[in-house]
Chains A and B, each alone.
Chain A
Amino acid sequence: GAVVSQHPSWVICKSGTSVKIECRSLDFQATTMFWYRQFPKQSLMLMATSNEGSKATYEQGVEKDKFLINHASLTLSTLTVTSAHPEDSSFYICSARDHTGPANEKLFFGSGTQLSVL
């Protein structure tokens, strides 16, 4: 079946550095990808909708300059956490929709990235 690959699985970085997370659709083209953030025992919070070839749409309260999203191709979206700080530590998950099939069965999630900022 369709797979969404997310890398890295986990990353530890120093405060002030930037971290890039990749989300790839391996066997389908995704014009739209989504980035979520999940705190322990909390729900997945939608951060932004990544649109291929155009600017991402951010949810209210999400800093665009902090969380840079690039969707340069139909199979790759990246999320860059700029100047990361400890409060950015979280589990980040991407998802992508395969538009070639029934809409409600074709949303696939990556395995997530655990970011720890020291």
Chain B
Amino acid sequence: GEDVEQSLFLSVREGDSSVINCTYTDSSSTYLYWYKQEPGAGLQLLTYIFSNMDMKQDQRLTVLLNKKDKHLSLRIADTQTGDSAIYFCAEGENRDDKIIFGKGTRLHILP
């Protein structure tokens, strides 16, 4: 079945770059997403990438996709304390709006 895997925890110093990795199994995934969840809040879409793209950059965010290895990463440049949150990798086919989420990576910022 469909599965999305990501590490549960990442600790990064303020000002450094954060790289959150994700792997997925569904080869028919059309879109891959990164969502951010702050404590007690819903999910906020950060960015997404089409499966036919290798990279997408949006200000401090860079998404890299290796479709062959089914590997997705999110790089946050110049990590700030406000970036502290749980980041969910997700995939979807868009046919029926279903999105499959990973377990989320908790990003902790060190001073």
User: B94 to A109, Cβ gap below 8 A?
Assistant: no
B interface residues, tally (CB under 8 Å): 23
Most buried by B among A43, A103, A105: A43
**A interface, over-half SS:** strand
Residues of chain B at the chain A interface (Cβ within 8 Å):
4, 8, 31, 33, 35, 40-45, 48, 88, 94, 96-104
Q: Is the CB of B41 within 8 A of A112?
A: yes
14 sampled A-B residue pairs with Cβ under 8 A:
A34-B97, A34-B99, A41-B104, A42-B103, A43-B103, A43-B104, A44-B43, A44-B88, A44-B101, A95-B42, A97-B97, A103-B94, A107-B45, A112-B42
Closest-CB distance, B46 to chain A (whole angstroms): 11
| Given the contacts A49-B98, A104-B31, A111 and B103 also touching, CB distance less than 8 Å | no
- The interface centre, meaning the residue of B8, B48, B102, B103 with most chain A CB atoms within 10 A of its CB, is B103
By a CB distance below 8 angstroms, the chain B residues around A43 are 4, 88, 101-104
Whole-angstrom distance between the alpha carbons of A107 and B45 in the complex?
Answer: 8
- Chain A 90-111 interface 0/1 with B at a Cβ cutoff of 8 Å (1 = within): 0001010100000111010111
CA distance A102 to B110 in the complex (A): 37
Which of A42, A44, A112 gathers the greatest number of chain B CB atoms within 10 Å? A44
Which residues on B sit within 8 Å (CB–CB) of A45? Answer: 101
Where the two chains meet, the residues of A that have a C-beta atom closer than 8 Å to any C-beta of B are 4, 6, 9, 32, 34, 36, 41-46, 49, 93, 95, 97, 103-105, 107, 109-112, 114
A72 to chain B, nearest CB (A): 20
**By the criterion CB–CB under 8 Å, are B102 and A105 in contact?**
no
What's the Cα separation between A103 and B103 when bound, in Å?
Answer: 24
Contact in complex: A111, B41 (CB < 8 Å) = yes
A18 to B86: give the CA distance in the assembly, Å.
Answer: 30
CA distance A67 to B40 in the complex (A): 22
